[in-house]
Amino acid sequence: MAKTIVTGIKPTGIAHIGNYFGAIKPAIELSNKEDYNCFYFIADYHALTTVKNKQELKENSFKIACIWLACGLDPNKVTLYRQSDVPQVCELSWILSCITAKGFMNRAHAYKNIVEKNKEIGSEEDDGVNMGLFNYPILMASDIVLLNSNYVPVGKDQLQHIEIARDMVKIFNKTFGNSLIMPSAITEKEQAIILGTDGQKMSKSYGNIIPIICESNQLQKLISKIVTDSSLPNQPKNTNCTIFNLYKLFANEQEIMSFETEFKKGISWAEAKKILFEKMDSFLEPIRQKYLFYFNNPQIVEEILLKGAQKVRPIAEETITRVKKAVGLK
């Protein structure tokens, strides 16, 4: 039987090159393989843990849907939907939270990091933590389990969340009898962390992103800001740098080899940035065009999302009924 794949992206900001290579591209590639049933969603309930502005949440959700479609998601192959259109996920989340030890959630990375930061600056441990954020991994486990997911493609930073989901399935099945499918993570073996303009991990939280969708001149400006070492024109340059690593993502073998030769010969940073800009700009141009199409046709996007939700709800209903029977609510 075809395996089920589920993954989600939070609509919390502007999607960037790190999201593209770390999450979007691998998920779309998987959907092009024949033997998978793919369900990709916009994790808007998850975004609500941090976004507190209704316009912003709506816009971000719509833009993330446009990004998925612009990057090549084929709605005939992938069921694309909005998490909040399938409210059964919240019902499941409550039931799973009743078999989850609080101490277990204390150890989840996202929560632990906030607590540690608060301690460092002498604030209350739980400052800025809402219950949605604390329960985040339980809702994520519910997303996965609700659709009987076998595989979950994620970036390495999400592996702990998948481990948590697996532990919940184990506990549930042990307590109530085998009713839930055990999911496994799929991560790209070779997937490097993509670096931002300042040389640390590209992330919305660090203000160092290169968006997937931006005007050519903005792209050029961002590339010109990439931090380089102080080697002068004509001096050989180290290829272990942000410019070269970004170039590798967009170029073919041949192009990478000749860029490497230029580095050895001592290309100037200005020239290297120009070559990187041209490569990225031509790669991103068709994505921009497709994005504009969907952005200007919101009714098409909405229709795709509603159709997606219609496909997902009966599966969700089946799981919830099975789970309620297993625990004695039905």
Q: How far is CA 215 from CA 84, 230, 292, in A?
A: 31, 29, 12
Q: Give, as ranges, the residues between 16 and 45 that touch ligand ADP (CB under 6 A).
A: 18-19, 21-23
User: Applying CB under 6 A, does 246 fall inside the site for ligand ADP?
Assistant: no
Closest by Cα among 210, 204, 212 to 289: 212
User: Applying CB under 6 A, does 146 fall inside the site for ligand TRP?
Assistant: no
Contacted by 172, from ligand TRP, ligand ADP, none: CB < 5 to 8 Å by type: none
* DSSP per-residue string spanning 209-270: --BSS--HHHHHHHHHT-----PPTTS---SSSHHHHHHHHHS-HHHHHHHHHHHHHT--HH
CA 46/CA 137 separation, integer angstroms: 10
Contact criterion met (CB below 8 Å) for 67 and 24? yes
User: Applying CB under 6 A, does 202 fall inside the site for ligand ADP?
Assistant: yes
- Whether the CA torsion 184, 190, 194, 195 is positive or negative: it is positive
Q: Which of 16, 46, 237, 288 lies at the binding interface for ligand TRP (CB under 6 A)?
A: 46
Provide CB contacts within 8 A for 102, sequence distance 6+.
none
Q: How many residues bind ligand TRP (CB under 6 A)?
A: 14
* Part of the chain binding ligand TRP (CB under 6 A), chosen from 6-14, 57-65, 122-130, 265-273: 6-14
- Nearer to ligand TRP by Cβ, of 152 and 222: the residue is 152
User: Applying CB under 6 A, does 154 fall inside the site for ligand TRP?
Assistant: yes
Q: How many CB atoms lie within 10 A of CB 182?
A: 13
- Nearer to ligand ADP by Cβ, of 173 and 191: the residue is 191
Q: Which of 78, 140, 267, 304 lies at the binding interface for ligand TRP (CB under 6 A)?
A: 140
- Nearer to ligand ADP by Cβ, of 166 and 274: the residue is 166
User: Applying CB under 6 A, does 158 fall inside the site for ligand TRP?
Assistant: yes
Q: How far is CA 174 from CA 65, 102, 326, in A?
A: 38, 19, 11
CB of 42 to ligand ADP, least distance (A): 12
Alpha helices in the chain (DSSP H): 17-19, 25-31, 44-47, 54-70, 88-97, 102-106, 109-120, 131-134, 136-146, 159-176, 216-224, 242-250, 253-265, 269-295, 298-327
Contacted by 308, from ligand ADP, ligand TRP, none: CB < 5 to 8 Å by type: none
User: Applying CB under 6 A, does 63 fall inside the site for ligand ADP?
Assistant: no
Q: Which of 10, 63, 82, 288 lies at the binding interface for ligand ADP (CB under 6 A)?
A: 10
Contacted by 140, from ligand TRP, ligand ADP, none: CB < 5 to 8 Å by type: ligand TRP
Can you give the binding site for ligand TRP, defined by CB under 6 A?
6-10, 43, 46, 140, 143-144, 152, 154, 158, 161
* Residues lying near ligand ADP in the complex (CB under 6 A): 9-10, 18-19, 21-23, 154-155, 157-158, 193-194, 201-205
